[in-house]
Amino acid sequence: MKNGNTLEFTYTRPKSALTDLSYVREFSDTLAGPWSNFGGSLVTILTDYGVTQTVQQNTPAGTGKRFVRLKVTRL
């Protein structure tokens, strides 16, 4: 969701996988890339249901189109 100059990126993750998986949000101005990881890794936990968490990370909105994706990697 766009909020001023920021894109608020929200996703749900299983708490049991936090030690096994890496979650990195990436952005690009085109779907073809290149994809970049925006430096900061500040994660805001919106809800914690014990088994899962809904979290939010912010990304600059840019001046034109901006695409955001979540890259999940097994550690």
| Phi, psi angles (nearest 5°) of residue 56 | -135, 140
pTM of the entire predicted model? 0.80
Tens-place pLDDT, residues 46-70: 999 999 999 998 888 878 888 889 9
CATH of the domain at 34: 2.60.40
Across the chain, mean pLDDT equals 89
Asked whether residue 34 carries a pLDDT value surpassing 90, the answer given is: yes
DSSP state of 32: T
In which domain, by residue range, is 16 found? 2-74
Nearest to 24 by CA among 4, 13, 51, 5: 13
> 7 falls in which pLDDT band (50, 70, 90)?
confident
Joined together, the tokens standing for residue 19 give: 């030690």
Domain total of the chain: 1
